[in-house]
Structure 1
Amino acid sequence: MSLTCAGIGSPIVAYLGPIASYSQQAALQAFGEDVWQLKPVDTIQDIFVEVQSQCATWGVVPLENSANGAVDLTLNGLADYNRSYVNIQVGGDTYVPVNHYLLGHDSPTVPSATSQSSKAQELPIDSFQHIQKVYSHPQALGQCSKFLDKYLKNAQRLEVSSTSKAAAIVSNDTTGKVAAISSELASKAFKLDVLAKSIQDQDDNTTRFLIISRNDTLPAKSPTQFNADCQCSGGRKTYKGFLSFTVSRESSRALTQGLSAFADSDISIIGIHSRPGRVLPFQYIYLVEFEVRNSGNGDRRIGALMERIGSVTQDHRWLGGWQACHESTGDSH
C-alpha cells in the first residue's frame, strides 16, 4: 500500500480513531497537542502503514488490555509476515486506565453526576428509568454489566463500532431517552452530560499502548544504544525491548533453546506472543518482550542475547527498546 503524504508543518502522531477514543487519550498522554498533530486513522494496520511510509513520525497502537488480553492486529503488525514494516521499531509504552462513563442529556428530573456523588453505587436505583437505549462497543457493554443490570435492566443495549461512535449517536438525540457508555474525553468532544462516572465492573481495567516509529537502520540484528537521558524518580533504570524469532520445526529443542538464551544472558522475559508465520503450516513467529534491570551493563547483555538468539533460531529481528523505571516497591508503568 502506497501513500501520498501532504506536507504539514507539525509532526504527526497516528492513532486508532475516531476522535475521543481511548487511543486518542493515549496519544494525548504520550505526546500532547502543543507540538504534535494527532491524526486518527481507521485501522491498526493503517497506523503501521502511516509510520512505515513516513506519513507519520510516530504511531500509538494498543497492545493489551488487563481484562481482555492482547490485541491480535497489533501483534500481526509487529510479526510483519510480509516484511511490509521493516523499518518500524517500538520506542516506548503508555498505560491508560479505562474509566467508562454513562453519557447523555440531563433529564429535568434527574441530576447529573456533576451535581451528585461520582460513585455509581450511591445513585438512587431509579436514576435512569427514563433511558430506553444504551449504545456502546460490545466490550464496554460487557465491562459495565453490573451497572446496567442494576440501573438500566429494561433499557435496550445496542452495539456499535466504538465508544466514540456511541457518544456521537447520542449527541444527535436530545430526547434524553438514550445514553452512551464512553469516556470523559468523549463527553467533552460531543458536549454530552456525564450521567454517571466510573461505571465499569472492575476499577483496575487498563489498556497498554506501544509507541512506534521508523528507524531507517532497521531491520537490525542488534539493538540501538541506550537512551542515557532517561530520568527516573524514586527508582532505578531498566531497559525494555522487543524482538521476534522463528525456529525450525525439525528440531524438538529449538524453541527451548531460543527462550533459554534470555536466561543465559541474565535477561528477564516479561511477555511472549506467537503468531502464525504464514510460510510453513504451524510454524510461528514468536514475539518476546524482555526487561534488563540494573541496566548499567545492559548493552553487553543484550548484545550477548542477540548473538545467542542468532545461533539457535532460523530468523530473528530486533523490534526496538526503551528506558523505563523500576520502582523499589513495584514496577512503574
Structure 2
Amino acid sequence: MKKISIQGIKGSFHEDAARKYFGEDVEIVECRTFRKVCELLDRDEVDGAVMAIENSIAGSLLANYALLQDFHLHVVGEIYLHIQMNLMVYPGVKFEDIQEIHSHPIALRQCSEYIDQHFGEIELQEKSDTAGAAQELAREKYKDVAAIGNQRSAEIYGLEVLERGVETNKKNYTRFFVLSKHNNPIAGTNKASISFQCGHYYGALAKVLTIFGDNKINLTKIQSIPIVGKPNEYSFHVDLEYDTEDNYERAIHLVLKNVSSLAIMGEYKKGDIELNKP
C-alpha cells in the first residue's frame, strides 16, 4: 500500500485530492506543514505527496513553489479539486449563536463575500487546516463558533451543516501537484512544469516566451518567484501544454540557449477540471 503525505488531517481537501488521484487503497500520512510533507518525501518515508499549488480565487501558494525548488522534488501529476465550502456547527447551535468563524486562511478568503454579507465584522480565527478547524469544533463542543470546510469533515466529526456552498465563486477549484522524489519517466505526457532564470536585460523573457509560441507550446501559467539574496531578480515557473513531445523537446532545446539556468520540475499528463453540480 502506498504511503502519501499531505498537509492536514483526515477530512481535509488534501486527503480528498490524494484519494481522488491514487484511489482509496492508500495510507494517508498527515503533516502539520507543507515543509513536513516535503521532508518525509525527501527522506523516502513516503512514496509520494500531494500538495496544493494554486486556487482559482486565492491565487498561487508561492511558499510551495519555493519548497519544490528547495527539496528538488518532481511533479509527476496534477489534480483539480472542485472546492465547495460549508458552514458547520456543533449539533444544536443556531445561526444567531455564532460569534466566531474558524477555518484555514485561504478558505476564509474564498468565502469572504458570504461572511461579510451574513456576519459583518465577526471575529475570524485562522487555523492550519479546514479539517482541523472542524475537528477542534467537535472536540471542544463550541456553542458560539462555526467552522468552514468540506462536507466530508462534517460527516467525519459529527457536525451539522447550516448552509452549503458558501464559497464566493461556485466554479472555485484548487490545483494540486502530485510529487515524487524520483523522476520516473511517464509515457504519453502532454504537460510540463519548468523553472528558469534569464538575463536581466531588455527582451530577455520575451525572447524565451516567443520560442514556446513558435513551437506551438501553450503556456497555461507563468509565475515569478523572487530569488533569495538577489534583489529584483526572479526565477520563472512556467506550466506548458503540448500536443507532441517533439515540439516540446525542440522548444526546450532552444530555450536552454537563451536562459542562465533551467530546471524541468516534471513532465506529466494534464488533469481534468470537473465541476460538481450544485
TM range (shorter): 0.7 to 0.9
TM-score after normalising by structure 2 = 0.87
Conservation of the 8 A alpha-carbon contact between 1:93 and 1:211: yes
Distance 1:38-1:278 versus aligned 2 partners, 3 A rule: same
Match among 142, 150, 155 for residue 188 of structure 1: 155
Distance 1:147-1:271 versus aligned 2 partners, 3 A rule: closer
Shift of 1:200: 2.0
**DSSP 3-state at the match of 2:71:** coil
Q: Which residue number in structure 2 is paired with residue 273 of structure 1?
A: 223
Distance 1:322-1:312 versus aligned 2 partners, 3 A rule: same
**DSSP 3-state at the match of 2:269:** strand
Is 2:63 aligned against 1:70? no
Conservation of the 8 A alpha-carbon contact between 2:8 and 2:132: no
Distance 1:157-1:286 versus aligned 2 partners, 3 A rule: closer
Partners of 1:208 and 1:181 in 2: CA distance: 19
Distance 1:59-1:193 versus aligned 2 partners, 3 A rule: same
Q: Which residue number in structure 1 is paired with residue 250 of structure 2?
A: 304
Q: Which residue number in structure 2 is paired with residue 104 of structure 1?
A: 89
Conservation of the 8 A alpha-carbon contact between 2:102 and 2:147: yes
Q: Which residue number in structure 2 is paired with residue 42 of structure 1?
A: 32
Shift of 1:150: 5.1
Shift of 1:57: 1.5
**DSSP 3-state at the match of 1:324:** coil
Shift of 1:215: 2.3
Q: Which residue number in structure 2 is paired with residue 284 of structure 1?
A: 234
Match among 49, 53, 57 for residue 47 of structure 2: 57
Distance 1:145-1:52 versus aligned 2 partners, 3 A rule: closer
Q: Which residue number in structure 2 is paired with residue 7 of structure 1?
A: none
Distance 1:148-1:325 versus aligned 2 partners, 3 A rule: closer
Partners of 2:117 and 2:249 in 1: CA distance: 56
TM-score after normalising by structure 1 = 0.74
**DSSP 3-state at the match of 1:95:** strand
Q: Which residue number in structure 2 is paired with residue 133 of structure 1?
A: 100
Q: Which residue number in structure 2 is paired with residue 172 of structure 1?
A: 139
**DSSP 3-state at the match of 2:64:** helix
Shift of 1:93: 0.9
Is 2:45 aligned against 1:85? no
Match among 177, 198, 203 for residue 253 of structure 1: 203
Conservation of the 8 A alpha-carbon contact between 1:128 and 1:152: no
Match among 128, 135, 142 for residue 161 of structure 1: 128
Give deviations 1:26-48, integer Å, cap 9, x for gaps: 112111331x2111112222222
Shift of 1:153: 5.2
Give deviations 1:246-294, integer Å, cap 9, x for gaps: 1122x4332222222212222111111111223543222111111113x
Unmatched 5+ residue regions in structure 2?
Answer: none
The alignment's C-alpha RMSD in Å is: 2.6
Partners of 1:307 and 1:11 in 2: CA distance: 35
Shift of 1:131: 3.2
Give deviations 1:7-44, integer Å, cap 9, x for gaps: xxx3211111133221121112111331x211111222
Distance 1:76-1:180 versus aligned 2 partners, 3 A rule: same
Structure 1 stretch displaced more, 314-323 or 271-280: 271-280
The percentage of counterpart residues that share the same residue type is 24
Distance 1:68-1:303 versus aligned 2 partners, 3 A rule: same
Match among 4, 13, 35 for residue 4 of structure 2: 13
**DSSP 3-state at the match of 2:220:** strand
The AA in structure 1 aligned to 2:88 is L
Partners of 1:13 and 1:54 in 2: CA distance: 11
Partners of 2:233 and 2:198 in 1: CA distance: 8
**DSSP 3-state at the match of 2:270:** strand
**DSSP 3-state at the match of 1:312:** coil
Shift of 1:332: 7.0
**DSSP 3-state at the match of 1:187:** helix
**DSSP 3-state at the match of 1:275:** strand
Distance 1:190-1:68 versus aligned 2 partners, 3 A rule: same
Higher radius of gyration, 1 or 2:
1
Q: Which residue number in structure 1 is paired with residue 171 of structure 2?
A: 204
